[in-house]
Amino acid sequence: MSTQSLPITGDWPGDHNLIQPADLVIYYINADDQIVAVNAAWNQFAADNNGADLILARIQYASLWTFISDQDTRLLYKHLFAHMRARGQSITLPFRCDSPLERRFMQLTMTPMVTGGIRFASYLLRTELREYQPWLDVDAPRIPGWIEMCSWCKRVRNEAAHWVAIEAAIESMQLFETVRPPQISHSICPACVAQIEHELMP
Ligand SMILES: [Zn+2]
């Protein structure tokens, strides 16, 4: 599978000519929210994160919304996009992209372009090693029950409706004896909604 940089299509700024940290993951959507270009780091990131299906060769001109099934997350992105396109201002937000063995603290900068497209650049700020966490392993067998996870910060909603780290939820819900994790559904927690809404204020 090739991780070579694919040609940037359309009238994008010359990102491929800039010196970038190797792990700066960049992709572009056009005015119709279709994914039109990615950098080499995106393809590598996809391959490293159970996302071999997400290399550009397979997703070019797919709608971004194909990859965001949760309605809360969709709505939030739609607000963000409308705001950025109307004002021509970029927005930078922290987010998490955890793996079973690492907490990954990331930062995303979204920049609107004159073409109506948006450039997404995400950068790994730091990682923390964790004990293997089957809740984040897409290949781990699941019990029938469901638990809600924030797609932005990766906290989960416990029985008391508090949003906490997975490890804390397992402890408070006394799930440690459950060999298999529950199934995960995604939404956005109130703290992340508040943080993102704050960015949208005039
Ligand atoms: Zn959150």
Residue range 32-65, pLDDT digits in tens: 999 998 888 887 877 777 666 777 777 888 999 9
CA of 106 to the centre of ligand 1 (A): 13
**φ, ψ (nearest 5 deg) of residue 119:** -100, 130
> Does the pLDDT at position 98 exceed 80?
yes
| CA-closest candidate to residue 36, choices 3, 18, 59, 69 | 59
CATH of domain 3-131: 3.30.450.20
pTM higher than the cut 0.75: yes
Which pLDDT score, from 0 to 100, does residue 170 have? 85
Task: Provide the 8-state DSSP code for 5.
Answer: P
For residue 15, report the distance from its CA to the centre of ligand 1, in Å: 30
CA of 153 to the centre of ligand 1 (A): 4
Structure-token match 């090693």, residue found: 129
Q: What pLDDT score does 138 carry? A: 85
Name the residue ranges covered by the structural domains of the chain.
3-131, 134-185
Residue 105 has pLDDT above 50, yes or no: yes
130: pLDDT strictly greater than 50: yes
What is the predicted pLDDT for the residue at 128?
A: 95
DSSP conformation class of 66: G
Q: How far is the CA of 152 from the centre of ligand 1 (A)?
A: 5
- Ligand 1 center to residue 151 CA distance, Å? 7
